[in-house]
Amino acid sequence: MMCIMRKSNLNARAAAKDATHERIVSVAARAIRRSGYDGTGVADIMKEAGLTHGAFYSHFASREAMLAEAASKACAESASAVADVVANEAPGAALAAMLSAYLSKAHVENVEQGCPLAALGSETTRQAPEVRRVATRHIKEMIDLVARQSPDWGQSSAHERALVTLSTMVGTLLLARAVDDPALSDSLRDAALKHLLPPAR
């Protein structure tokens, strides 16, 4: 009986630690998109997660390890959102729906939960290898997801078009967020959509 109770207590503690770890990563995933890698400090993350600074090292070996997990979560959330859009559309309409959602005004305004590539792209090159590895994996996943929406998927032309499409999507979102002129922000999005969307038949 004592052995069962001890095991139950250990399992409960492990589950609580896992939940706390996930909470820290979720807070950090929002923070890096809001404030950038360099603007995300350990003390601020722990405070926002409702924990002490000292508890950090029972969850992560280093700040870089936390940033890599936060980037991975941000990328997973972004990929899941795009995949959901694709899954809810007929095959021929999926690309247009994906582009419209990605280049929407709502996405421009929702930095904390939006695409980490647009929020963090210019900083990523200066990050630790594990952070860059996460970004690279996400970029490859997104290229593949875009390419799969092409009628010629599997051909080099679909892959090349996906490279250009993703680059345009991310660059447009970055610029639309950067400018302080709402009309210009809208024009950037509209022009990119006009260029990227397949012509209506």
**Is residue 35 in some structural domain?**
yes
Rounded CA-CA distance 82/131 in Å is: 21
**Is residue 79 in some structural domain?**
yes
In the block, residue with structure tokens 């994906």 = 98
Domain count, the chain: 1
Model pTM? 0.84
Q: What is the pLDDT of residue 146?
A: 93
Find the angle CA(59)-CA(60)-CA(65) to the nearest 5 degrees: 145
Rounded CA-CA distance 39/148 in Å is: 36
**Is residue 53 in some structural domain?**
yes
Tokens of 69: 């997990």
Per-residue pLDDT of the chain (201 residues; tens, 9 = 90+): 556 656 666 676 767 788 889 999 999 999 999 999 999 999 999 999 998 888 898 899 999 999 999 999 999 999 999 889 988 888 788 999 999 999 999 999 999 999 999 999 889 999 999 999 999 999 999 999 999 988 888 888 999 999 999 999 999 999 999 999 999 999 999 999 999 986 654
Say if CB 119 and CB 33 are below 8 A apart.
yes
**Is residue 26 in some structural domain?**
yes
**Is residue 201 in some structural domain?**
no
- 183: domain range? 2-196
Rounded CA-CA distance 75/67 in Å is: 12
Q: What is the CATH number of the domain that holds 121?
A: 1.10.357.10
Q: What is the pLDDT of residue 119?
A: 94
Find the angle CA(33)-CA(36)-CA(42) to the nearest 5 degrees: 100
Tokens of 106: 């709502």
Evaluate the CA torsion angle 44, 23, 78, 191 in order and state its sign: negative
> Which of 16, 12, 131, 127 is closest to 68 using CA atoms?
131
Q: What is the pLDDT of residue 195?
A: 94
Q: Which long-range contacts (CB under 8 A, 24 or more apart) does 15-18 make?
A: 17/58, 17/59
Rounded CA-CA distance 73/34 in Å is: 14
Rounded CA-CA distance 166/147 in Å is: 10
